[in-house]
Structure 1
């Protein structure tokens, strides 16, 4: 038999079930007994049958698939994708992914065009930096779009870690432990995460009537943190450093050590993302940890909610937690 011409009726005959049962296995699998599903799936595999997504869409009004656009699969993105995948499985959806190269530009409109050509019901766009059409983009009416970004969008639902609040929390921790000011080592200038973390740091200091010192520019890598640490080691008033991620925080600590200073006795340090303990044993670094898996779950559920209520729009912020270790000294008398 030509596998290209295998029909649902052929599957029904091979499995010894009705055509309606085959349709239910494809479109409503939970309504069919497991033993019957297994027979139908075995027949499909033996015959080389693949469901017609277009026909399925006409029957159910959806494809049962969500598109995901992202730029890299490392760090917190791995946990985020894990959350998206688990939530999709629980809600009965599959995933289609488009991965762009780091530094490669893509507008929201372009992502929507790409996804509109695929059998997907909605799209999750993991936005790492600002795109040219962020404020003007309007998602196609038949493609529910959720953007993972700390920025609020005028028409699309957004989900994000609460980056600003995480920075405020870390900064206030320093101040509540007797530190008079906090220096900041930023990530790349174009990074939305770095911008929001810097904004939270400034807000926390200004709320206490403290003039924020000039931030030091980093690039997320440990070497840039090391370079910043060498500068900070020569500042007599520097007792506290907030680095925009753990890699740079570790670089800062290594530079301070090489300059003969101790963490936390001479300078206290806090990082972001709580990643250092995975590669460095007995890490002392206090860090702001974000719940990336929860972020992925929220994003997927928001897409599905939008399929059921297309006009809905929301902004969801997932709070972080401060993981306390021993890199901050209490200066209170």
Structure 2
């Protein structure tokens, strides 16, 4: 009789170290390894009772499908990359959350690479990092004009969707209807009797900020109103506060459209500190409809953006490309709506 080798691992301990195999699951469930493979790969040609038995066996043994091997067989890694400039903005975080939830629902994981500065070099490095992580496609969320530049080359043969529309037409794009939102905000203030509307814009290199400012200007011109000097901001409450101090010192300013809610919050603080009442003296409109905007004082009139719909649509378009049934490269525009609260009111009578 052969004596056991001292120190040799038992079959049970060896299996514990390597993890349960396809054969282990098949043995426990009383089916073939081919049946287990079909269940693990999500195929539908397995009877419901058999599928349930296999899934229970997987759970009991702690079996995890070998996704790397599956990727080699199918050519797909079930993973999406996201390149995003700034994780601190409200809109980007809401969009990223929607991307993550939608991807998980579709059976994909995500890898996020933040870009510190929207330059050609940083974008190229982000692409390289994601390609090294073996992703099936990439969603780009960068608000700057960098994607339009001829010297920025996106990897050939890779599925790409851009959030925040660009001048390129070779990739599907998803964006909020920025022009509609800015028009609603500006027209709302004019309808209240204000002679004109001042605008605190976002960064000059932001698509969203540029389109909102262009539409604000167009609406004033269409209505024969004076177009005030543009106030340039950077999305922050600090920028809104600093411009708010200027607004507070000028009694002829009665209506302000801030390009996002955070800058609008800064304006409200500056007006309050300097004795200008909202909305009795100055009406203020924001853009985004942050979860906290109804808790500002006074509650903020703002433009509601569909961040969740934008993220879901981007994932939908990207997976369609990955799975070889792409839609034509075009812009999917998400509608906006005006949410009227207490920060806007009739124009005051100026003495």
Normalising by the smaller structure, the TM-score range is 0.7 to 0.9
Deviation at 1:268, TM superposition (A): 0.8
**1:199-249 superposed Cα distances (whole Å, 9 cap, x missing partner):** 221122122233421112223222322221221123343111011111221
C-alpha distance 119-41 of structure 1, shift in aligned 2 (>3 A): farther
Q: Which runs of 4+ in 1 moved over 6 A?
A: none
User: 1:144·1:310 contact (CA, 8 Å) conserved in 2?
Assistant: no
User: 1:284·1:326 contact (CA, 8 Å) conserved in 2?
Assistant: yes
**1:281-301 superposed Cα distances (whole Å, 9 cap, x missing partner):** 664210111010111001001
Distance in 1 (alpha carbons) for counterparts of 2:150 and 2:190: 36
Are 2:342 and 1:326 equivalent residues in the alignment? yes
Aligned to 2:62: 45
Aligned to 1:284: 299
Q: For the pair shown, which has the larger CA radius of gyration, 1 or 2?
A: 2
Distance in 2 (alpha carbons) for counterparts of 1:144 and 1:176: 45
Are 2:170 and 1:158 equivalent residues in the alignment? no
Are 2:259 and 1:244 equivalent residues in the alignment? yes
User: 1:26·1:51 contact (CA, 8 Å) conserved in 2?
Assistant: no
Distance in 2 (alpha carbons) for counterparts of 1:40 and 1:137: 50
Distance in 1 (alpha carbons) for counterparts of 2:195 and 2:159: 47
Aligned to 1:12: 26
**1:68-103 superposed Cα distances (whole Å, 9 cap, x missing partner):** 22231652333323322333244x331221232544
Aligned to 2:77: 63
Are 2:43 and 1:26 equivalent residues in the alignment? no
Q: TM-score, normalised by structure 2?
A: 0.82
> Which consecutive unaligned segments of at least 5 residues does structure 1 have?
none
Are 2:128 and 1:113 equivalent residues in the alignment? yes
Deviation at 1:38, TM superposition (A): 2.4
Are 2:53 and 1:36 equivalent residues in the alignment? yes
Alignment partner for residue 235 of structure 1, among 250, 253, 267? 250
**CA RMSD, Structure 1 to Structure 2 (Å):** 2.9
User: 1:147·1:156 contact (CA, 8 Å) conserved in 2?
Assistant: yes
**1:244-296 superposed Cα distances (whole Å, 9 cap, x missing partner):** 11122122122222322211111111011122636836642101110101110
Alignment partner for residue 170 of structure 1, among 185, 210, 229? 185
User: 2:303·2:336 contact (CA, 8 Å) conserved in 1?
Assistant: yes
C-alpha distance 95-134 of structure 1, shift in aligned 2 (>3 A): farther
Deviation at 1:150, TM superposition (A): 3.0
Pairwise mapping of residues 94-133 of structure 1 onto structure 2 (< 5 A)?
A: 94-100=108-114, 102-103=116-117, 105=119, 107-131=122-146
User: 1:124·1:303 contact (CA, 8 Å) conserved in 2?
Assistant: yes
Q: May I ask how many residue pairs the two structures share in their alignment?
A: 329
User: 1:135·1:154 contact (CA, 8 Å) conserved in 2?
Assistant: no
> Which consecutive unaligned segments of at least 5 residues does structure 2 have?
1-13
